Chain A
Amino acid sequence: MKLIFERSRKGVRCATIRPLEVSTYSVEKKYLRKELALPEVAEVDLARHYTELSRNAFGVDSGFYPLGSCTMKYNPKINEELASLPGFSRVHPRQEVDTVQDSLHLMADLSADLMELTGMDGMTLQPCAGAHGEFTGLLLIAAYHESRKDTKRTKILVPDTAHGTNPASAVMAGFEVVNIPSNAEKGVDLDALRAAVGPDTAALMLTNPTTLGLFEKNIEEISKIVHDAGGLLYYDGANLNAIMGVVRPGDMGFDVIHLNLHKTFSTPHGGGGPGSGPVGCKAMLAEFLPKPSIVKDKKGNYEFSCPKNSIGKVSTFYGNFAVMVKAFAYVRTLGSDGIKEAAEHAVLNANYMKAKLEDIYPTENRYCMHEFVVDIQKLKDQTGVSAKDIAKAMIDKGIHPPTMYFPHIPGVIDESLMIEPTETENKETLDEAIAVLRELYDLAFKDAKYLQEAPHNMAISRPDEVAAARKPIVRFEGEY
């Protein structure tokens, strides 16, 4: 594919603006740049360029996307239309508060629904992504301990199966990370946890269901151990889709949570973002939430306020507002009944695929939640075909590969695929994917090389990632 710069031809124009209605102001010469390089293309060239790029991209609308941990459910179109209404999209963030009552009303109502859904007492919508939410939530925890003069709580406990963002966020929030090993059932090892907690424990970060797609059965005991030691419990909401409407993190003992509106609440991932990572908390943490918060006055008007001991701002304005509108439309469409049904079907779909695959793709011998992790180690030992090879071969079949090599517990889970079908897929799609995975398994024994060289039908074959990192080319350096 040509780069947009390679389509550039000097002097060609695309979009044009109203002619200047006043005399031209000339910025003083010493401040001016000498040259500017940007592509010059006609509108038709632009349209064809991006249409070509889009044909070499794959979204949920293109096909099945069982990318574990990412909850690639269908993104309803009504949400897009609503978010682009002029009453939302053309409103400036610094307008006077009496002119943005509807925006605040929507944010307050979305917060209330999310609090109810998670069992929390406070909520901020300001974080722009899940990791941003983790960071925010951990700052709440730090502020809480500090406010109690409990300043020795410098450590965050993180299971070895946690998302990489968990330990990275903990360090950004100024904590040290202590890794907690998994037990034989791939849950938190309670003895290791008991040994790790103490007066220096600030919190334990946990995903439940875990990154293996299993419900952490000992959650009540875990909560007790952490709380008895004076620590708090942080909920990574990446896997909420399995249990929304069924069980609430707040009832499980979690004190702080983040949600991923771009996973659980159907807003599109956009090729990597924007997301939205609201943070909820129990009452004792609400005074530390980011500013501004939204409150309702006696007359029923909304206004901005600053929580008493706010951690401050984590982003410029109020978060990714347009994403909030989409998530709100989703919550209102599903409602209390639909939310639970969606979770149940996410779990149904995952267990169906698991049941149809586990004779050849080994996985944990219990019901999974919304996703399951299959172990490819034996297949690799027998045939040399790796998790990556299976993944790449799925691309040829028009299926986005599952998440590869995560979670990684060295010596326990090395070669893995994490499959999350989501609730919006129908049985036929699941059956096709099951058939593909079974076919590829058989093929591994017959023609391993074919799989090791997959994909075969895409515009490119496997890229040389080592060369990319060794001598990075990170921009187009040609003339245009």
Chain B
Amino acid sequence: MSNYLSITEQEEKEMLEAIGVSKPSDLYADIPISLKNKALKIAPGKSQQQVMEEIEAYAKENVVFDSIMRGAGAYDHYVPSVVRYLSSRSEFLTAYTPYQAEMSQGILQSIFEFQTMICSLTGMEVANASVYDGSSAAAEAAFMCVEKNKKVILVPENVKPEVIETMRTYLSRRGIEIKVLKESEGYIKDGKVDTQMLEKAINENTACVYIEQPNYYGIIEDAEFVCDMAHHKGTKVIMGCNPMTLALLRSPADCGADIAVGDAQPFGLSVSFGGPYLGFMATRVNKDTMRRMPGRIVGQTTDGQGNRCFVLTLQGREQHIRREKAMSNICSNQAHCALVASMYLSAMGKEGLKEVATTCTSLAHYAAQQFTQGKATLKYPNNNDFFHEFITVTPTKAEKIVEKCAKEGVLAGLPIGPNEILWCMTEKVRKSDIDKVAEIMRRA
């Protein structure tokens, strides 16, 4: 059975002779005998053909929906063929982290281009080469803001719940408090952050405020007000962005944010049951932010002949140099996903990305209107400033609506309460599918 080895028996014999042992297991002399060679209860090896059949069978019972109207952190966008095709080139796929710059210029340049595109979208001046996902990006960014006497992170409840949970896991053992500002306590009004209430929550111990743009409910925040107020109170602001919306929306830097983070999965990565996705981080260049940023950063320099070239730089921040004094432990990141994202952005281009974003928000507003013709209402009827996600409230149970949509081949929005559904429209959703769901909603 295939084990991907390519040494013949004769070669193995010659090699053993050169080493001076009679069989490969002799090389394990240092391992105590009592510990060795427990029989493994793992199936014996199979042919590639059998493995193909076996694992194809694993993919058969999963339901693949024709139309996905669910987002909530994972977005089903159209991926141009050229992106899948080019990104699967094995020089990209099978390379390691580009430690050896002379033979890795292609990888290094692709990361430099990714950093540039993230800076362009966020308006920031420096971006890293990626972190695991949007949640770990938010957690790492929060840690960047912590100072000796500022160890409280304020997070309104209208951000992705997974981000809050991940931040807690990341930071609570380092004496950092994640304080969630609840809707029931008045911190969120009409679905967005109430700046005046938030102001009252900020004090001298606040390290930063984390907000999302658009927020978990799909609503566009008044980010500039939040940033102005927070800065006035002496605290920093991290903006977690769905980067697709930045094709149209003001950049986090323009709004005044100190750090922009998010998940760039919408840029060419399939939903793929949750991963791999693509955390990004970007910030302004000032005396400490760049040096507190975790992860790889590629910089431009020249070689001995003066040619432009690229290298991993500012490595003094990283674990392999600084060990326990490093800013983060991150080593492997999501480099190949970053490559896919930059290919996607280049393939869509400036106009194409705006078209995708415009289509998403237009379909969402059409769907919101069509879905609320009967008894269904929008959860935040006074706020029409949502991007491509919105919440409906229905007399019918959310799960019933999900079932009915599934029968039409549509993955409905995510139930986020017994009668509440968080919908998402992307450019892949057809008007005819929205109209089908509108029928269901009219009777809901």
B305: chain A residues within 8 A (beta carbon) = 460-461
Q: Does A440 contact B (CB under 8 A)?
A: no
Q: Which of B51-89 contact A (CB under 8 A)?
A: 51-52, 54-56, 58-65, 68, 70, 72-74, 76, 78, 80, 82-83, 86-89
Tell me whether B427 and A290 are in contact (CB under 8 A). Answer: no
A135: chain B residues within 8 A (beta carbon) = 329
CA distance A400 to B64 in the complex (A): 41
Tell me whether A17 and B45 are in contact (CB under 8 A). Answer: no
Main secondary structure of the interface of A (DSSP, over half): loop
Closest-CB distance, B380 to chain A (whole angstroms): 15
Nearest 7 CB-CB pairings of A with B: A87-B59, A317-B274, A270-B336, A59-B94, A272-B335, A335-B45, A93-B274
Q: 17 A-B contacts, Cβ less than 8 Å apart?
A: A1-B109, A3-B116, A17-B355, A36-B350, A37-B350, A40-B350, A53-B92, A57-B106, A58-B103, A59-B91, A59-B92, A96-B402, A99-B406, A100-B63, A320-B276, A333-B46, A333-B48
Closest to B290 in A: A472
Closest-CB distance, A145 to chain B (whole angstroms): 12
B235: chain A residues within 8 A (beta carbon) = none
Closest-CB distance, B328 to chain A (whole angstroms): 7
A139: chain B residues within 8 A (beta carbon) = 169, 173
Tell me whether A32 and B339 are in contact (CB under 8 A). Answer: no
Q: Which of A309-338 contact B (CB under 8 A)?
A: 311-323, 325, 328-329, 331-338
Tell me which of A193-201, A279-287, A349-357 binds B. A349-357
Given A33-B251, A339-B40: A94 and B92 interface contact (C-beta under 8 Å) = no
CA distance A14 to B80 in the complex (A): 9
Closest to A44 in B: B82
Tell me which of A166-174, A379-387, A409-417 binds B. A166-174
Q: Does A56 contact B (CB under 8 A)?
A: yes
Q: Does A448 contact B (CB under 8 A)?
A: no
Tell me whether A80 and B304 are in contact (CB under 8 A). Answer: no
Tell me whether B362 and A22 are in contact (CB under 8 A). Answer: yes
Tell me whether B290 and A55 are in contact (CB under 8 A). Answer: no
Tell me which of B117-125, B181-189, B195-203 binds A. B117-125
A167: chain B residues within 8 A (beta carbon) = 319, 323-324
Highest count of chain B CB atoms <10 Å: which of A76, A100, A336, A348: A348
Q: Which of A225-283 contact B (CB under 8 A)?
A: 243, 245-248, 251-252, 260, 262, 266, 268-275, 277
B56: chain A residues within 8 A (beta carbon) = 82, 85, 87
B103 CB contact (under 8 Å) in A5, A170, A395, A469: A395
CA distance A395 to B102 in the complex (A): 8
Closest to B299 in A: A468
A142: chain B residues within 8 A (beta carbon) = 173
Count A/B pairs, Cβ under 8 Å. 689
CA distance A322 to B322 in the complex (A): 32
Tell me whether B64 and A91 are in contact (CB under 8 A). Answer: yes
CA distance A50 to B268 in the complex (A): 16
A94 CB contact (under 8 Å) in B70, B78, B303: B70
Highest count of chain B CB atoms <10 Å: which of A96, A135, A472: A472
Closest-CB distance, B212 to chain A (whole angstroms): 13
Tell me whether A475 and B112 are in contact (CB under 8 A). Answer: yes
Given A214-B30, A347-B24, A406-B320: A46 and B297 interface contact (C-beta under 8 Å) = no
Closest to A344 in B: B24
CA distance A73 to B98 in the complex (A): 17
Q: Does A65 contact B (CB under 8 A)?
A: yes
Q: Which of A378-433 contact B (CB under 8 A)?
A: 391-392, 395, 400-401, 406, 423-427
Given A80-B88, A168-B322: A459 and B105 interface contact (C-beta under 8 Å) = yes
Tell me whether B36 and A274 are in contact (CB under 8 A). Answer: no
Tell me whether B62 and A88 are in contact (CB under 8 A). Answer: yes
A99: chain B residues within 8 A (beta carbon) = 62-63, 406
Closest-CB distance, A232 to chain B (whole angstroms): 16
